[in-house]
Structure 1
Amino acid sequence: MSVSLVEVVIFLAAAVIAVPIAQKLRLGSVLGYLLAGMVIGPWGFGLIGQVDEVLHLAEFGVVFLLFIIGLEMQPRRLWALRKVIVGLGGLQVLATGVALSLAAAWIMHLPPAPAAVAGFSLALSSTAFALQMLGERGELTSRHGRSSFAILLFQDLAVIPILALLPLLSIGTTEISLLGGIEKTAKAAAVIAGLVIGGHYVLKPVLRVVAATRMQEIFIAMTLLIVVGTAAVMEAAGISVALGAFVAGVLLADSEYRHELEANVDPFKDLLLGLFFIAVGMSINLGLFASHPGYLIALTLGLVAVKGAILAVLARRQGLSWAASRNLAAYLGQGGEFAFVILSTAVAGGLFVQPEADVLVATVTLSMVLTPFAVQGVAWFNARRAPADQTPDYETPAESEHPVIIAGFGRVGGIIARMLRAKRIGFVALEANPAQVDFVRRFGAKVYYGDASRVDMLRAARAEEARVLVLAIADVEVSLRTVHMVQTHFPHLTIVARARDRQHAYRLMDLGVTVFQRDTFLSSIALAGDTMRALGMRREEVERAQKTFKAHDEARLAEHYEVANDEDRLAKRVREAAVELEELFERDELAAEPDESGGR
C-alpha cells in the first residue's frame, strides 16, 4: 500500500479533531473514529479513496489487540473459561446464524446457500468494537465483559470453518469437494498446532537471547516480529490472523517477558485500532443509505434486535443477571469485521452479486455506528432499574489480586516477595536484568522482565489497579527516575522505597518519599547487637542499646536533611550527634543500674 505524506496528515488530523469532540459529547472514541472516516472517505469529502487498502493495513490493530488479550489470558484461565467459550459462544453463533439465515431468505429473497452465508457472517460481532468499548468503560473484567470475550473468541474460531466451507457452496464450482473442505480445515488445525508447539519450544529461548542484549529497540523489533510473523503464517494458511495473534499471546502469557511485550505492542495497537475504525467509517456507502434509508435502517435495527434478544436469553441461561445480560446484548449486537472478509469471498465465489453484498456491508457498518448509543442507552436503563445500594455485577480480575508491584528483584525485592507470598498477598515483580529473571525463575519465583521506570511497563503491570509500589531498585538514578514517573502518572500508589545509603535517602525525601529503609541499617544494628552479646553483655542491655541507637539515628536523619547539601554544616551536625549518642548511652546505663543491682 502506498500512502502519501498528505494522506497521513489527513488521518492524524481527522483523529485529533473528531475523537476529542466525541469524547466531550460522551459518545466514546470509537464513534469519533467512525465519524472521522465518514467525513474524509469517498462518500464524504473524498480526501482518501483507498478504502480497501487502508482497511487491510488497519486490521493489524485487531491483530495487536488479540495478541495483548492473549498475553492476559494464561492457559489455566483460558481452560477455566472453556465451558463459557464453547457453551455460550457456540450456542450464540448457531442460534443467531440460523435465525439471521431465515431472515435473510425471507427479507432479501436469497436462495438457501447465500442466505446461510449471510446469516452466519452477520452472527459474528466486532472484536475490535466490543473489546475497545469494554476497556474504555472499565468493564472487561465484569461478568458481561468476560462472557463477551468468550463469545468473541469462539466467533474468531468459527471463522475458520465458515471460510473453509464457502467453496462448497459456490455457484458453478465443480473442482471443490467435501474432501477439499475437510482438508482445508485439517490444514488450519495443523498450522495452529505447529504454532503452539513451535512457540512453546522456540519463542521463550529466543526472547531470552534478545533480552540479554539489553537493547530496548531490538526487543521491540522482536515483539513486532512475533505478532506480524504469526499473522503472515496464518494468512498464508487461510486462517484468521487475529486468532493466530491470540494464540501467540496465550503461549507467552506465563512468560517472564509478558509485561514487556504488552508495553511494546500497546502503542502500535492503539494507533492501528484507531485507523481501523476510521477505515470502517470510510467504507460506509452513504450513497446507498441516501437511496434506501428506510430499508437499511430497518435491516440494521432488525439485526441488532435479533442478535441482542438471543444474546440476552443465552446470557440469562448462563446465570448472568438481567442487567449483565442487557449489557452483553448491547456490546455484541453489531455485525463484525469478519463479515467483510466472508462476504467479499462469497462475491468472488459467485454466491452473491455485488449490490447484495453492499447492502449487508452497509448494515454491518451502520450497526457498528449504533453500538455506542446502544451501550449508553442500556447503561442508563440499568442505572434507573437498579436499586441505589446494589453493587455492580463484577468479578475480581486476576490482576486486581496483585495490590503490590515490586520494582527490582534482587536481594531486597526477593526477601520482600517471600514475605508477601507467605502472607498470601499478591504482587507483580519486575526486574530489568534478564539474567537475574532467568536465575530466580529457576527457583520458582514469579518475576517478569521489564524496566519499572517506564510508564508503559507499569501500565502493562496494571499499576492503576495496584495500591503499593515497593521500590527495591539498586541503581540510585533509576530509582529516583521511577519515583518521579510514578508520582506523575500513578499518584495514588503508596511508594515504599529502598535507600542504598544516607544520600539516597535524602534524595528520596527531596521527592516526597517518606517511607523508606536504608540497605544495611537494620542488619548493621543486628550485627552490632551480636557483637555485644559475644562480648558477654546481657540481652536486655543489648536490646536497649539497639533501640536507643535506632531511634536516635532516625531522628538525626530527619534533622540532618535540612543541611544535607551543605557539607561543612552536615559534618558538624554528625560530630554533635556522635557525642549526643554517647551521652544517651551513659544516661541509659545509669538509669538501668538500680534494676540490675536489685535495688528498687
Structure 2
Amino acid sequence: MFDPLIILVALGFGIGARALGLPALLGYLAAGFALHELDAQAGEFLQTLSDIGITLLLFTIGLKLEFKDLLKPQVWGTTLLHMLATQAFFMALLAACVALGLLTLSWMATAVIAFALTFSSTVFVIQVLQERGESASRHAKLAVGILIVQDLAAVVFLAFAAGKVPTLEALALFLLVPLRPVMLRLLSYCGYGELFTLAGLTLALGGAALCEMVGVKGDLGALIIAASLAGHQKAKELSRNLMQFKDLFLVSFFLLIGLSGWPEPQIVAIAVVIGLLSLLKPFLYFPLLTRLHAPARVSFLSSMALGNYSEFGLIVLAVAASAGWVDAQWSGAISLAIAVSFILSSPLNTKAHSWYRRWQPKLRSFESIKLRQSHPDTQGVKVIVLGMGNIGTGAYEDLATEYGYGVLGVDDNDHKLLKHMADHRRVIAADATDPDFWSRIDLSEVKLVMLALTNHQENMVVTRLLQELGYPGHMAAVVRFPEEAEELEHHGISAFYLFAQAGSGFAAHARAQLGL
C-alpha cells in the first residue's frame, strides 16, 4: 500500500477518535493495527517522517527549557519521586508475571518496560488543557513542568541507548553559548511567517545532522541546540510554530507502531491491565505535590491531567528494541496500555473541576501548613481586573483614579507581578479559574469584574464559575472575534471587541494629535 494512502486511512481513524472525544493519536494507532491486518507495508517515506517527528519533538522540548521553573521542588522533586516509585512498582509487577510463567523477560527488558511506563503524555495533557481554556493556569504550568523533566529523563536514556561516543569535534557544541545572540538575531530577521518556520526546521534538522557527524545522537543534538535558545520570546514563538509540524510528523511514528503488528495474546492481556493501573497515578501525584507545598486545587487538577501513559514511552521502547534490549512486540503492547489510559483519563478530566468543588474541604486538608497560613489581602475590593497585560494594566490605571486601592489586579506571571508591585499597583498572584481564590473575596461588595485574559475559553470558564457562585455584579470581557462577543453577551457579559473598538481609540488619538 502506498504511504499517502496509509496517511489517508490515518486521517479517517483520527477524525473518528476525535468524534468520540478521544485524542487523535489513538486513531493513528488503531489505523496502524487495522492496516497490519490488511497486510499493508510501510515504505521509507513513513519512516523518514517518523524520524523527523521525533527530532522535532526533542527540539520543541529544548525550546521550553526554562531552568528556573524546573528547579522548583514541586516540579523536579515530584517528577523524580513519582518516576522512582512507578519504576519500582512496574518492575515488581513484571517480575511477578515472569515468576508465574506468564512472561519471559530479562532484567534489562523489565527495567526498560517499567521505565517507559513512568511518563505521562505531553500530547494528551496539552490537548486537554487547551480544550478547557486552561493553558495559562497554574496547574497547567505545573503539569507541563513535570512533563518536561520526564522528557529530559527520556532524553538521557536515548543518549545512553544510542551507544555513540562523541568525537573530539563535539566540543564545538560549547560554541552554542556565545552564538546564542547571533542565532536569535537571525531569527528576528526572519519575522514570524514561513521564513521563521523554515529557520526553525533548519536549526532542528540541520543541527541534528551536524551532531550525528561528531558522534552525538541527532535527536539529542536538536535538543541541545534548542536549549541554547530557550528563555527568549523568539524561542517561545518558534515552539508554537513548530508544534503542528511536530504533531503532524509524529502521526507516522504512531502508524508504524501499529503496522509492526499485535503482540502475543498473554502480553495483550497484561497490557490492558497495565492500562487500567494508570488510574493509580493521580493518587501518587497528589500527595507528593501537596507535601512539596503546591496548593490543593493545583495539585488535584495537575494530578488528574497526568493520570495516563506517554507516547514518549513508545519512543523509548523503539530505541531499546533497536539496541536489542527488549522484544519489538512490546511497543505494540505499550501502545495498547497508552490507549486504555487515554480512554480512562478523558472522561475523568472532564469531571475534575466538579470533583474538586465537591471534595474541596477534604482535599485542602492535605495542604501544607505553610500554604494554609498564607492569605493575600483581598479586603475592600470593588473592581477586579483579571490579566495584567497591556490591556489589563490600562484598565487598572483608569479605574484606580476612581476606586483607588479598591482595584485589584490578578495575574499568574511572577515577573509581571513584580513589575506591577514596583509601580505600586495592588496585585496578587492567582489563577482566575480557581474557586479557592474567589472564596477569599466578598463578591457581594465587588461591583465589576474585568476579564482581560484574551483567551476566550478561559473567559468562559471564569464566567461560568462566577455565575455558579452567585456573583451579583457586572462583568466585562475582551474579545477578538464577533462570535466570542455573541457567546459572552448571551451569558450577560459586556464584550469589548478589541480590534474594532481599538480602531475608534486610534482615530481619537489621531484627532487629538491634529488638535481636532
Alpha-carbon separation, structure 1, partners of 2:258 and 2:239: 28
Conserved? CA contact 1:98–1:120, under 8 Å:
no
Q: In the alignment, which residue of structure 2 is the partner of 1:134? A: 129
Q: 2:46 aligns with which of 51, 54, 61?
A: 54
Which residue, out of 268, 272, 288, partners 1:314?
288
Partners of 2:159 and 2:224 in 1: CA distance: 20
What residue in structure 1 maps to residue 199 of structure 2?
A: 222
Name the counterpart of 1:265: 242
Question: Paired residue for 1:477?
Answer: none
Distance 1:514 1:247, change over 3 A: same
Aligned to 1:207: 187
CA distance in 2, matches of 1:330, 1:188: 45
Aligned partners of 2:188, 2:355: CA distance in 1, in Å?
Answer: 53
Asked whether the 8 Å contact 1:89–1:154 carries over to 2, the reply is yes
Partner of 2:219: 241
Using the alignment, how far apart are the partners of 1:191 and 1:89 within structure 2? 32
Contact conserved, 2:60 with 2:226, CA < 8 A, in 1?
no
- Counterpart for residue 251 of structure 1: 229
Partner of 2:79: 89
The match for 1:108 among 82, 98, 103 is: 98
1:374 aligns with 2:367: no
Aligned pairs for 1:223-372 (under 5 A) are 223-233=200-210, 237-239=215-217, 241=219, 244-245=222-223, 248=226, 251-255=229-233, 257=234, 261-262=238-239, 264-283=241-260, 285-286=261-262, 288-289=264-265, 293-302=268-277, 304=278, 307-320=281-294, 325=299, 327-352=301-326, 354=327, 357-358=328-329, 360-372=330-342
Could you list the per-position Cα deviations for residues 488-543 of structure 1 after superposition, in whole angstroms to 9, with x for gaps in the alignment? 7866884567xxxxxxxxxx79xx96554255421332xxxxxxxxxxxxxxxxxx
Amino acid aligned to 1:32: G
TM-score (norm 2): 0.62
Is the alpha carbon distance of 1:55 and 1:150 closer, same or farther for their aligned partners in structure 2, counting shifts above 3 Å? farther
Work out the CA distance in 1 between the residues paired with 2:161 and 2:137. Answer: 36
Distance 2:60 2:456 in 1: 17
Give the drift of 1:12: 3.4
Distance (whole Å) between structure 2 residues aligned to residue 378 and residue 313 of structure 1: 19
- How far off is 1:58 after superposition? 3.2
In the TM superposition, 1:404-415 aligns within 5 A as: 404=391
Give, as a single letter, the amino acid of the residue that structure 2 aligns with 1:224: L
| TM-fit CA distance, 1:239 | 4.7
Q: What is the CA–CA distance in structure 2 between the aligned matches of 1:384 and 1:218, rounded to whole Å?
A: 45
Aligned partner of 1:592 in structure 2 is none
Q: 1:139·1:145 contact (CA, 8 Å) conserved in 2?
A: yes
Gaps of 5+ in 2: 100-104, 365-385, 402-407, 412-452, 460-478, 487-494
1:96 Cα deviation after fit: 1.9
Question: 1:243, 1:313 → 2: CA distance?
Answer: 36
Q: Which amino acid in 1 is paired with 2:90?
A: L
Structure 2 equivalent of residue 554 of structure 1: none
Letter aligned with residue 82 of structure 1: L
The residue type paired with residue 46 of structure 2 is V
**2:119 counterpart letter in structure 1:** L
Q: Which amino acid aligns with 1:152?
A: L
Matches within 5 A, 1:198-597: 198-211=178-191, 216-233=193-210, 237-239=215-217, 241=219, 244-245=222-223, 248=226, 251-255=229-233, 257=234, 261-262=238-239, 264-283=241-260, 285-286=261-262, 288-289=264-265, 293-302=268-277, 304=278, 307-320=281-294, 325=299, 327-352=301-326, 354=327, 357-358=328-329, 360-379=330-349, 382=352, 385-387=355-357, 401-402=388-389, 404=391, 464=456, 487=481, 494-495=496-497, 515-518=505-508, 520-525=510-515
Q: Secondary structure of the equivalent of 2:357?
A: coil
- Conserved? CA contact 1:326–1:378, under 8 Å: no
- Do 1:66 and 1:242's aligned partners in 2 also have CA atoms closer than 8 Å? yes
Q: For residue 181 of structure 2, what is the amino acid of its counterpart?
A: Y
Kindly indicate whether structure 1 or structure 2 has the higher relative contact order, using CA contacts under 8 Å at least 6 residues apart: 2
Give the conservation status (yes or no) of the 8 Å contact 1:89–1:150. Answer: no
Equivalent residues in 2 for 1:140-155, closer than 5 Å: 140-155=135-150
Query: Structure 1 residues 345, 330: closer, same or farther in 2, change over 3 A?
Result: same
Matched residue, 1:35: 30
C-alpha distance 91-274 of structure 1, shift in aligned 2 (>3 A) = same
Distance 1:205 1:426, change over 3 A: farther
Q: Secondary structure, in 3 states, of the residue corresponding to 2:36? A: coil
Are 1:157 and 2:152 counterparts? yes
Distance in 2 separating the partners of 1:374 and 1:243? 36
Inter-CA distance 518–46: structure 2 relative to 1 (3 Å threshold): farther
What is the Cα deviation at residue 375 of structure 1? Answer: 1.8
Aligned to 2:187, the other structure's residue is in SS state helix
Q: CA deviation at 1:309?
A: 4.3
Residues 370 and 21 (structure 1), Cα distance of their counterparts in 2 relative to 1, 3 Å cut: same
- Determine helix, strand or coil for the equivalent of 2:507: strand
Task: Check 1:351–1:329 CA distance in 2 against 1; reply closer, same or farther (3 A cut).
Answer: same
The match for 2:118 among 123, 133, 136 is: 123
Offset of residue 112 of structure 1: 3.8
1:66 CA displacement: 5.8
Residue identity matched to 1:8: P
Per-residue Cα deviation, 1:24-59 (whole angstroms, up to 9, x for no partner): 3323434333333333x313x344534x97366235
Q: 1:313 to 1:28 in 2, by over 3 A?
A: same
Contact 1:464-1:490 at 8 Å conserved across structures: yes
Shift, 1:370, TM fit: 1.6
Do structure 1's residue 8 and structure 2's residue 1 form an aligned pair? Answer: no
Tell me the distance in 2 between the aligned counterparts of 1:191 and 1:335. Answer: 37
Q: Cα–Cα, structure 1 residues 187 and 323, in superposed 2: closer, same or farther, change >3 Å?
A: farther
Q: Aligned residue pairs: how many?
A: 411
Aligned position for 1:455? none
- Distance change (3 Å), C-alpha of 1:234 and 1:79: farther
AA at the equivalent of 1:92: H
Distance 1:33 1:188, change over 3 A: farther
User: How far 1:122 moved relative to its partner?
Assistant: 2.8
Deviations 1:184-233 (A, max 9, x none): 7x9999687554x155232122224445xxx9443332222123234445
Asked if the contact 2:13–2:27 (Cα under 8 Å) also holds between the matched residues in 1, the reply is yes
* Aligned partners of 2:308 and 2:345 also within 8 Å: no
Per the alignment, residue 596 of structure 1 pairs with none
Corresponding residue for residue 374 of structure 2: none
Q: Equivalent pairs: percent with the same residue?
A: 24
SS of the residue aligned with 2:264?
helix
Supply the RMSD in Å over aligned alpha carbons: 4.9
Q: Deviations over 1:290-318 (max 9, x none)?
A: x654333234434x256454334423433
